[in-house]
Chain A
């Protein structure tokens, strides 16, 4: 149980294009999903918290107009990197929280590696 998937697992795009990454909870309903960014050899940095049916909460320094997050259902959240540039190249990883679970744990997807040329 508690499986989270991400699609695509990797993507290469040209500078200026937009890329959408999907995060799905496969066997549970996730009231909250989180989006992280990880640069090589570094830790995970939280970008935003996504709650179903409401606007995402972005961390300080994260451009909400550049990283669009939509959490349309209890099993799907999407992150769209708009007008991507080479500095957006990174490993993007989502997690989903099972509301009311004990312990209250985040389960992570396998990540999406984005390379912007």
Chain B
């Protein structure tokens, strides 16, 4: 069974500073995908960044980067130069790759980020 753990229920960050959101996962699969989504107060889930288990380099997308440490089974999200609009819930998720698993996503409990001006 898979499990995604986000140990930080909430955190404050000063505008323009960087913030790291923790995510650890547990899987016996060798092939898997890790995702981060942002959920503003409006409710929609916004895809931020993806890391494949076989990707050797850490994924980056603009101000988002993923610190992937496979041996430690962690996939932390780093948001650089925080903006007020970054205030939201952030979810880490893992996708089961085997076809029989149906490409389902399992989500962590989320971390609420509040950016202070």
Q: Which residues of A contact B (CB under 8 A)?
A: 32, 34, 42-46, 49, 57, 91, 93, 95, 97, 103-111, 113
Query: Secondary structure of the B side of the interface?
Result: strand
Q: For A45, list chain B residues within 8 Å (CB).
A: 107
Among the 9-residue stretches B11-19, B21-29, B97-105, the one with 4 or more Cβ atoms under 8 Å from chain A is B97-105
Apart from A46-B105, A104-B95, A108-B44, what are 9 other A-B pairs with CB-CB below 8 Å? Answer: A34-B105, A43-B108, A43-B110, A44-B91, A44-B107, A46-B106, A57-B102, A105-B35, A106-B35
Q: For A103, list chain B residues within 8 Å (CB).
A: 33, 50, 52
Count of chain B residues with a beta carbon within 8 Å of a chain A beta carbon? 22
Q: Offer 11 A-B interface pairs, CB within 8 angstroms, sorted by A.
A: A34-B105, A43-B107, A43-B108, A43-B110, A44-B107, A46-B106, A49-B103, A105-B47, A108-B46, A109-B44, A111-B44
Interchain Cβ contacts within 8 Å, total number = 55
A46 to B101, CA, bound (A): 13
Query: Secondary structure of the A side of the interface?
Result: strand
Pick from A34, A93, A105, A111: contact of B104, CB below 8 A. A34
Residue-wise interface mask of B (80-117) relative to A, using a CB-CB cutoff of 8 A (1 in contact, 0 not): 00000000000100010000001111111110000000
Closest CB in chain B relative to A32 CB, distance in Å = 6
Residue of B nearest to A113 (CB): B43
Residue of A nearest to B35 (CB): A105
A93 touches B45 (CB 8 A): yes
A110 touches B43 (CB 8 A): yes
B91 touches A93 (CB 8 A): no
